[in-house]
Amino acid sequence: MARYTPPPQSKIGQMIDVIVLLILSIGALYIPLWLGLAGSAKTPLTADNPTWESLGQNPTMVERWNQLGFADPASAHDMITARFDYSFTWGAMALMVVVIAGYFALMLRLSEKEYREVIDEKFERR
C-alpha cells in the first residue's frame, strides 16, 4: 500500500483553521446566551408583602437568612421562591437522544474508516 503523504499547509491556511475553531467553540456557548435560550433561568414566584411564614421558613432558617444579610422576607423572596421548570416535552427529549446517539454513531463510523487506513499503512510496512 502506498504511503499517504499529506499536502503542506500554508501559514494563512493554518491561521484560518485556528479562526474557524475559535469561532465555533466560542459560538457554542455564547449563541445560546445571546439568544436568551440558555437554561438555568430559575423563575421566582410573585408575591405582595411576603412573610417568612408564607415563604415556608422556620425560625432557624430565618435566623440564618438574617445572618446572611437578608434582614426582611422581601429581600430573600426571589432567592427562596426561584425554581427550575423541569417540565419537558417528549419531542425535546427525543431530539436530545437523537443528537447524542447520532453524534457518537457518526464519530465511530468515520473514526473506523480513518483507523483502518492507519492500521493498513502501519502494519503493511512492517
Partner 1 sequence: MADFDITSPTMDGIASHGTKVGLARVLGPAHVWALGVGIVLVGEYMGWNFAVGKGGAYAALIACWFAGILYSCVAMIDSEVTSTVAAAGGQYTQAKHIVGPLMAFNVGLYLVFAYTMLEAGNAITLGYLISEAARMTAGVTDLDQRPFIILSIMFLAWLNFRGVLATLTFNLVITAFAFCAILVLFFASAPWSADSPLAHAELMSGQAALPYGWIGVLAAMHFGLWFYLGIEGTTQAAEEVRSPARSLPFGTLAGIMTLLIAATLTWYICVGFLPWEYLGDGVNGAVAPLFSAAQMTGSNFLIIVLGVGTLFATLASANGCINDASRAWFSMGRDHYLPQWFGAVHPKYRTPYRSIIFLVPIALIFALGAPLDQVITFSILSGLLGYTFMPINIILFRRKWPLDTIKRGYVHPFHPIPAIVLLALCSLTYFAVFLGYGTQLIAMVSFYIVVSLWFHFWRYRFVKRADQFTMPWPKPKGY
Which 13-42 positions form the footprint of partner 1 (CB under 8 A)? 14-15, 17-18, 20-22, 24-33, 37-40, 42
User: Contact between 51 and partner 1 (CB under 8 A)?
Assistant: no
Instruction: Looking at residues 69 to 108 of the shown chain, list those that interact with partner 1 (rule: CB under 8 A).
Output: 76, 79-80, 82-86, 88, 92-93, 95-96, 99-100, 102-104, 106-108
Cβ 87 to partner 1, closest distance in Å?
10
Cβ 48 to partner 1, closest distance in Å?
20
Identify which of residues 71 and 108 has a Cβ nearer to partner 1 in the complex: 108
Identify which of residues 18 and 71 has a Cβ nearer to partner 1 in the complex: 18
Q: How far apart are CA 92 and CA 85, in angstroms?
A: 14
Identity of the residue numbered 6: P
Instruction: Looking at residues 54 to 73 of the shown chain, list those that interact with partner 1 (rule: CB under 8 A).
Output: 56-61, 64-65, 67-68
Identify which of residues 6 and 48 has a Cβ nearer to partner 1 in the complex: 6
* Largest interatomic CA distance in the chain: 81
Residue keyed to cell 432567592: 79
**From its phi and psi, is residue 63 left (phi > 0), alpha (psi between -120 and 50) or beta?**
alpha
Q: Report how far Cα 10 is from the mean position of its chain's Cα atoms.
A: 34
Residue keyed to cell 494563512: 12
Cβ 3 to partner 1, closest distance in Å?
7
**From its phi and psi, is residue 112 left (phi > 0), alpha (psi between -120 and 50) or beta?**
alpha
